[in-house]
Structure 1
Amino acid sequence: MLRVDAEQHQQEYFFDKIRTINLEVILDIQKDIDPHDMISLVFLLYKVPDTALQRLIVFQRVSKDVSYNNINLLYDWALNVQTSPTWRYEFLEALTICRLYHVIRKLGFSISHVKDRYLPGNLNVSIYVNPIKKALYKLCENINANNLLRLKKTLLTYDIDTSEYEACELIILQLMCQKFITLSESKIEKTLSNNKCEVEKLIMIVENISELKKIALELREIQNKINNESSLPAPHINGTPVMSTSAADPKTKLVDKIEESFIDLCHLHAEDISGVTLKSDTKLAKDAYPIKNTNRIGICCIINQEEFYPSKESIEGNIQTYALENRLGSTKDQLALEHTMSSLNFKIRSCCNVNHKDMFKFIKCVILNDVCPEDSIFVLCILSHGIRGHVYAADSVKVKVEDIQNLLDSDEASNLHGIPKVLILQACQVDEQNAHSRLVADGPLPNYFLRKSDFLIYWATAPEYEAYRDEQKGSIFIQTLCSMIAKKARHEHLYDIFTKVTDLVSGICSKLKCAQVPIFESTLRKKLYMQIPQL
């Protein structure tokens, strides 16, 4: 009986306090709310997205000024909803969702009672605030700076420019204004307008950002619930093949072995290649490609795809079936390649994180503007994720290696005709349908072999295998390759060097119990040296 009386008293106290919330209180309270939380409250409370967005754009510009609270965003909202009998409850629920407990306490409410009433952590419970907005607020709260940048890049592929917005809430409002997503504000409005909640396009983007997959699932469930549809399971999304060292992963014990392997690779650099003096009268035999100028061997073009984001083409075209993780450690590979190749008198041209169209533009630009008649070799290195016969661009669109090869052999690249072209590809070659298969392959598909002449393509791993990368030191393949080229380039031709690299990488990966076997394929007609060999 005492418990019932206490609960009744608590309810009466709650309603008494609700009635004390008026315009003067709102005017005073908004002074205690910081800019970040103010943006969240406007997002949750304003019914018209265009109004909310325009007010917040101005607010974003002036919020760093000490007098920003004079904009009166909450006061103006409260002034316009005075006729609604539930506006005070909606305001309190929004404060609770944003966990502004210092404000709630100042209003005189019991924090525990308010939390029990509105359940801010439960996305399936929403009384006055739009339930999908509550879920979208959670998205905004959980998105970090890197993923916010990914989202902006992805939206650009839909011709939606949100680059000026600092907060995720403004981006969501922009999507609402452009009808990229639509929200039903209430069950009554939904019944009258026959509108459905449509946030599937945004969900498809979010689920391609690995850290936000759970929120994407929750958004889809709430959308289906609002639309009176049965909850459909989200599509299965495979993880990106990277070397994991988490505690739950059986490869945890690899950490020490990886350290040991990279220490072993360092010994390959013991030879001081910069101090070697070439003999000017040394000549290459007729069974080798000529080196025209020892001071400039050729061009080394490096494309380092380290950061990825989903794009309209990758999402709507089902080009990419799982979220691509950022390739931490890939910069180490880029630097190793740049150092190694420049020490051998190659001119270096590098780019990072380019979409599939810009990949080809970059290669064309290098061919047209940087390749000289005196160049003896053209080297193209691509560091990325991959599947069999393809590499991924930064916009998660897969690019056929054959298309890259065709470009290098096209009329546009006539200045490369007749000189050897080396493609070095640090990427996996697992099957698209089974991105995590570790089955040993008998060999490439019959139509996989090169048909062009003067090409040498070196993959980090054979078909159906993965290529492993340490997130701090770089990939096993590229680091081994750079070490062996630095040690052997002045004595041996590339075919023999690549053979030694394959042996070393296979041995290291066998020790680490990782399935990776590099493979190279050649239509070279002669031996290919990167330097005139010393006698």
Structure 2
Amino acid sequence: MFRKDLQDYSSSSQNMDSITIDMVLEIQKDLDPYDIVSLVFLLYEIPDTALQRLIVYQKVSKDVEYDSMNLLHQWATHAKVRPTWKYEFLESLSICRLYNVIRKLGFDLTTVKQHYQPDNITFSAHVSPIKKVLYNLCDNTTSEVMFKLKKTLLSYGIDTTDHESCELIILELICRKFIVFQDFIRNATPAKVDVQRFCQILDHFPAFASYVAHLKELENKLNGQHNSSSFNVSTSTPVTTAEVDNEYNKDNKGGESSFEEVYELLNQMNLEDIPSNWKADNVLLNNDSYFIRNPKRVGVCCIINQEIFNPSKENIEKNIHVHLPMRSGSTQDQIALESTMLSLNFEVIVGKNLNHIEVFNFIKDIIKYRVSEVHSVFMLCILSHGIRGHVYAADSIKIKIEDIQMLLDSDIAKNLYGKPKVLILQACQVDEDSYKDRGLVADGPPPKYFMRKSDFLIYWATSPEFKAFRHEEKGSIFIQFLCSALKEKAQKEHVYDIFTKVNNIVTKTCCKVKKLQVPIFESTLRKKLYLYIPSH
């Protein structure tokens, strides 16, 4: 796997003379900033030094004078006291696959690759095997996964927002003792290896499963636990049924062409033509309808668009695995809702990828500072993954819709008293038995408590036990049909009738393409609700 004893590279020892302090300086000039970061990560012994210098390098590397830092030259100057420093440098070049540099130094590439085995990520002759695994993890981390990892670490109070490479994030964790290991090759009295907390986080990222196995294997080997029976590697994690929420799958029965038909129907949909000479009249707003105070400022529409999800400290420590895929296409729903509500004279406020605390703070700020007495309607649209009665925040923690309703009925929402509050929820309502009695947010009121609250209209994209479907390029069936219907009918009909028509068209369309989705709305409205009354 790896060797503690230092085996000389005798077959090409004569070429080692080509690796000099001056040559390292020359080589550095031909390397990309990313390669410099990778080599510093592998070569520097003291993580705090590596991190601080790379933070500065990250800032100045955008400047033409960035090469003045000479990070590799500085390392070589200090490392030359070790007889192995040239071997460390050559192996690091091999790990980073900088084969042109290896050839430039006069080495036979095939021989170097055979000796250092760059494709075996747990084998290491002169570089820490832990570092080698961590480097390979970084090298195969996508920008999307790194974004999620940063969000997850933020829930631990570790802010890596400004780190532009995965190597800096890993160094940050090493400096904070989140990852503990000593260089077993360069140190005679190594400290105990501890990667448990880090692996606990990685367990919630399916893409990192193989690296978790390698890290745990090395931890046991380096700690002297050679008995394989005492070694348990977790290479997979349970996936909740919420993972398939709203996901467009080309392998589903019905095929891609069937889904295309759904959105073609949007262009053909006829919800009864509105006469061009028809004008709404305020006479509609009699005692049987909610009063629109200012037709030019009907209300406030709050949109929460959750597209990217990351694990959080809370569900990691409770060993709750929720792997929620990116909701591609949700931006199209956001755009459709923004356009629709602006056309209906609503003020529109958008929040994206909010964690469970930010969701409530976002809503609180809006109802406290953006909703005023002049507004007549409050609308909240949440686009996310979900299970029965809950939607997921961006940190993969589920939020009870009842808790949101309680907030909208609280003392801080005094400007909403007696006013209609409409919740539009694009999310699945599938059951999740494993989550019963394991809620991740504060306990809400007893079941059905909100139904005693007045002036609410809650509209789910689908009924309990059903999924809600979304096209990864064109948006969700429910939101796209809803926006089309609102634009066509809001000047004439109240929302209850419009929603009924949307239920009909969505259900019929989904049946046609053999997708089970039935929208549902629950109402405690006391009057008819119109969203648009033109001024005269």
Query: TM-score w.r.t. structure 1 length?
Result: 0.86
Give, in angstroms, the shift of residue 262 of structure 1: 0.7
Q: Structure 1 residues 118, 425: closer, same or farther in 2, change over 3 A?
A: same
Give the CA deviation at 1:126.
1.9
Give the equivalent residue in structure 2 for 1:32.
Answer: 30
| Alpha carbons 1:466, 1:516 under 8 Å: kept | yes
1:182 pairs with one of 166, 180, 183: 180
How far apart are the structure 2 equivalents of 1:33 and 1:183?
29
Q: Alpha carbons of 1:293 and 1:59: their partners in 2 closer, same or farther (altered >3 Å)?
A: closer
Q: Are the structure 2 counterparts of residues 53 and 268 from structure 1 closer, same or farther at C-alpha, using a change threshold of 3 Å?
A: same
The within-5 A match list for 1:127-206 is 127-186=125-184, 189=187, 192-198=189-195, 200-206=196-202
- Structure 1: gaps (5+ residues): 1-9, 436-445
Please tell me whether residue 341 in structure 1 is matched to residue 341 in structure 2: yes
CA 1:109–1:156: 2 relative to 1, 3 Å: same
Task: Give the equivalent residue in structure 2 for 1:408.
Answer: 408
Query: What residue in structure 1 maps to residue 260 of structure 2?
Result: 259
1:250 aligns with 2:255: no
Tell whether the 8 Å contact from 2:247 to 2:470 is kept in structure 1 after alignment: no
Q: Could you report, residue by residue, the CA deviation over 1:61-89 in whole angstroms, capped at 9, with x for unpaired residues?
A: 33345554443322332333334343322
**Which residue of structure 2 lines up, in the alignment, with residue 439 of structure 1?**
none
What residue number does 1:438 align with? none
Q: Which residue type is aligned with residue 33 of structure 2?
A: P
Q: Distance in 2 between matches of 1:77 and 1:125?
A: 23
Amino acid at match of 1:203: C
Correspondence for 1:391: 391
Q: Which amino acid aligns with 1:500?
A: K
Whole-angstrom distance in 2 between the partners of 1:434 and 1:515? 23
CA offsets per residue over residues 447-466 of structure 1, 9 Å max, x none?
35733222111111122222
Q: Is the 8 A contact 2:45 2:183 kept in 1?
A: yes
**Residues 61, 299 of structure 1: CA spacing in aligned structure 2 closer, same or farther, 3 A cutoff?**
closer
Aligned residue pairs, count: 509
Matched residue, 1:352: 352
Residues 424-433 or 179-188, more deviating:
179-188
How far the C-alpha of 1:505 sits from its partner, in A, is 1.7
Taking a change above 3 Å as real, the CA distance of residues 112 and 309 of structure 1, as seen in their structure-2 partners, is: same
Higher alpha-carbon deviation: 366-375 or 394-403: 366-375
Task: Give 1:411 shift.
Answer: 1.5
Distance 1:272 1:138, change over 3 A: farther
CA separation of 1:421 and 1:178: change in aligned 2, threshold 3 A: same
Corresponding residue for 2:123?
A: 125
Are the aligned partners of 1:269 and 1:486 in contact in 2 as well (CA < 8 Å)?
no
Aligned to 1:62: 60
How much has 1:513 moved relative to structure 2? 2.6
Q: Deviations over 1:378-420 (max 9, x none)?
A: 2111111112221122222221111100011111112212222
SS in 1 for 2:244: coil
1:320-353 C-alpha deviation (Å, 9 max, x unpaired): 5222222221111112112222222323222222
Deviations 1:24-52 (A, max 9, x none): 44344333333211111111111110121
SS at match of 1:380: strand
Describe the SS at the equivalent of 1:447. coil
Which letter does structure 2 place at the counterpart of 1:241? V
- CA apart distance, 1:275: 6.3
Hey, what does 2:3 align to over in structure 1?
none
- Say whether the 8 Å CA contact 2:390–2:399 is kept in structure 1: yes
Give SS of 1:430's match.
coil
* Counterpart check, 1:496 vs 2:497: yes
Residues 18 and 106, structure 2, Cα contact 8 Å, conserved in 1: no
Which residue matches 1:377?
A: 377
Q: Summarize the Cα distance change of 1:301–1:22 in structure 2 as closer, same or farther, 3 Å threshold.
A: closer
2:472 corresponds to: 471
Q: Given residue 326 of structure 1, which amino acid in structure 2 is its aligned partner?
A: M
* Matched residue, 2:303: 302
- CA deviations over 1:2-32 (Å, ceiling 9, x no partner): xxxxxxxx97542332355343443443333
Match of 1:114 among 112, 115, 130: 112
Give unmatched runs, 5+ long, in structure 2.
1-7, 436-445
Aligned partners of 2:88 and 2:20: how far apart in 1? Answer: 13
Q: What's the counterpart of residue 513 of structure 2?
A: 512
Q: 1:218 to 1:494 in 2, by over 3 A?
A: farther
Quick one: distance in 2 between partners of 1:401 and 1:17?
Answer: 68
Closer, same or farther: CA 231–121 of 1 in aligned 2, 3 Å:
farther
Structure 1 range deviating more: 281-290 or 476-485 = 281-290
Q: Does 1:455 align with 2:456?
A: yes
Cα-to-partner distance string for 1:203-262 (whole Å, 9 max, x where unaligned) = 344444454444445444444444435132245242722555566x335x5321211111
Specify the SS of the correspondent of 1:282: helix
Q: Secondary structure at the match of 1:527?
A: coil
Q: RMSD value over aligned CA atoms?
A: 3.0
Partner of 1:96: 94
Q: Is the 8 A contact 1:208 1:324 kept in 2?
A: no
Q: CA deviation at 1:359?
A: 1.6
Shift in CA distance, 69/526, structure 1 to aligned 2, threshold 3 Å? closer
Q: Does the alignment pair 1:77 with 2:75?
A: yes
Query: Conserved in 1, the CA contact under 8 Å of 2:213 and 2:233?
Result: no
Instruction: Decide whether the 8 Å contact of 2:248 with 2:470 is kept in 1.
Output: no
